[in-house]
Structure 1
Amino acid sequence: MNLHRLLRKRAEAGRPVRVAVIGAGKFGSMFLHQAPRTPGLHVLGIGDLSVPRALAALARIGWAEEASAAPDAATAAKTGCTWLTEDSLALIASPEVEVVVEATGDPAAGLRHARHAIRHGKHVVMVNVEADVLAGPVLAREAAAAGVVYSMAYGDQPALVAEMVDTIRAGGFTIVAAGKGTKYLPHYHASTPETVWDFYGLSAEQAQAGGMNPRMFNSFLDGTKSGIEMAAIANATGLAPPEDGLAFPPCGTGELPTLLRPHNEGGILPRKGMVEVISSLTRDGREIPDNLRWGVYVVFEGETEYARRCFAEYGVATDPSGRYAALWRPYHFIGLELGVSVASAALRREPTGCSESWSADCVAVAKRALRRGEVLDGEGGATVWGKCIPAARSRQSGAVPIGLAHGVALARDLPAGSLVTEADLMPRAAGGAAAEAIAMRAALAGA
């Protein structure tokens, strides 16, 4: 309970935590909205591929125009203003920067930015879960060797789940299941950027007016984002994904400890210690009244009669046996909470979740029958969606991670529902950030 106190001390000393934000999209904008309201934080710079686009984002969240007028990092540090630049690597390398927030959503760019930050002695808060799932454990090792923090982003669901898992484990309990809720039906896997707004009950015009990216929202809908986030949680906690991907069982909060227990005790889990996503809809499309669409949960075990009696005495939600209990948070604040990670990295030198091992992967699956020569369009696109499977299965099959299933052509026809493997692809183009991402991925798979 000391982050706010530590931030105030930095503010009073005139030494705010200076932050570089890479990517002024939705998540980055939410953090940028809150940062000026947080004592002891200073957004020193914003790196984006388009400064005009970043300025438009700042206008939407209410930034004063003069607040983003610094011509360089040194001036920003002296004046308390913010430097906007399209040269993210130069911003990251600036001596004044203490923490780098990577929020581009591009996995290859995210890995490059994070690695550049680590080499320059900066802490990294990785909003870019796509990059983390692609090679996060490699970055975590490099950060540890460099003496800096590599962290998940608080406010996003993986970090919140990791926190809950850590809290329950620190209390001496065994985690049975952990994950999040979402709106899911099986046919969502076939959704494309052209059809996505129908599922959200919006017109394309309404979505555009709200600044909503169809590929991003399609990734939320088609199961890819859920697969990525569960892989990140598995890699941070050591929990396991189901062998053939997430089941997305319909489940309300009242059912959590009953449904998410081992199958031989009346639940659906293959065993204890799993990640899973629960659906806010029944399979016939009805909304579950106590759904957890926006939230996160853990199910844990009272292993002794005394612990189970305490559960009953204090109104803990349990299954009928009283052995399995659940704790949940009904919603998350996305980038509005990101300052927790920034402060934790800079002031406590602790991550709010971090990839420790390669336990799970999110791999590309054909949305429809694909023909030889078709070019995969990656996360949120029309050709593939991302399924969370064990890392061992991914390695053994040579599966293509969803983060590398973009801009590469198929060497053969693939039926709908098939796992895309490296053997199915034509040779990739050499060079650039993608080549670095492929090399880091190879280092992870070979470890």
Structure 2
Amino acid sequence: MPTPIKMPALSPTMEEGTLAKWLVKEGDTVSAGDIMAEIETDKATMEFEAVDEGTIAKIEIPEGSEGVKVGTVIALLAGDGEDAGEVAASAAPKEEAAAAPAKEAPKKSESASATQGEAAVPAARTAPKADGDRIIASPLAKRIAEQKGIDLSAVTGSGPNGRIVKADVEAASPGTAAKADAASAPSQAAASAPAPTATAASVPDFGIPYEAEKLNNVRKVIARRLTEAKQTIPHIYLTVDVRLDALLKLRGELNAALEPQGVKLSVNDLLIKALARALVQVPKCNVSFAGDELRKFSRADISVAVAAPSGLITPIVTDAGAKSISAISTEMKELAGKARDGKLQPHEYQGGTASLSNLGMFGIKQFDAVINPPQGMILAVGAGEKRPWVIDDALGVATVMSATGSFDHRAIDGADGADLMKVFKELCEAPLGLVA
């Protein structure tokens, strides 16, 4: 019996995706771990690997198809002893009708696309166990799980017949997969409930000439998550002015010392380090509100806002408080490049305990950022500019930057948020503590 290859859920928020490119064709033989296709998710373009051996008997969804729902059969795999041609011929009549909507997706009108873009409940995943207690997982998934210390029995598989694949393991946390799934079930159910949203047909254009551009998957998710954040999270905003002269001087000295190694630090690299150190020193702000519990994190993972062609994405510098500034700089350059190319892996953008957004390079003086749920805070920093400043009891001129913290008031009290902003300011104004 042929094995159906289904559209996988390559991220926790993915409900549908674009089958960007097939890397195999009908008649090709594949083995577990072979890359079969490139799929555009709600975050990035990712590679989809085979989890079984066999021959591609039939490709149900052509490349370029948009709005392919998670769980939709995209191809059929003939196993040992099966004739790929016979499988394709017998499957064509009954599969053709089911695949028609996805095949026609690129041709649909604008109004039909708007309807198709509305949130839908992802197809339920099959349990990863079969034949007693045997866990079905791809060899690559097993290897990654062993390296990360993940219990596969606590991971839900998104592959054919519930098989655990690479993306499932990368999205799981060591020893916490089962607990996280149980804890997040109520919030996921609430998030999937349809909310009133505007459609193209319901928004008047008042006769003004315009060109309609269809939202890509990333922009749809950005719109949904930011709406959710502003509707469900009570934001509190706290702003401090930070004198940057000492930090800029230190940066210049460090860059001179690191030049032979080809490392050049940015101001943002030092701010990432300062925010991480501040969160470690003020642990009451390194938290997340999770319904009936408050999660207190033991390390500071900083999500950094990066503008990519497809939309905003936040790659993560893991345990930034414990890393050197040069290591943060090297890692951020690599992550930012992958973000712009749409090549970030799930573990590189999922998670984080707090975020940093810097618009200073655009000349923005000060702004309030929207919290990235389920995180508890985000720091928004503006441009460093020359301002009047009292220096040694005399009025002078200093380079000053405004920084605004947005805090989830359900999890973080105003006084604790103020304490974090105070520590962040002190670290920036006496920056030798960042390299100690």
TM over 0.5: no
Give the TM-score, by structure 2 length: 0.30
Q: How does the TM-score come out when normalised to structure 1?
A: 0.30
Larger RCO of the pair (alpha carbons < 8 Å, separation 6+): 1
Q: Give the structure with the higher percent strand.
A: 2
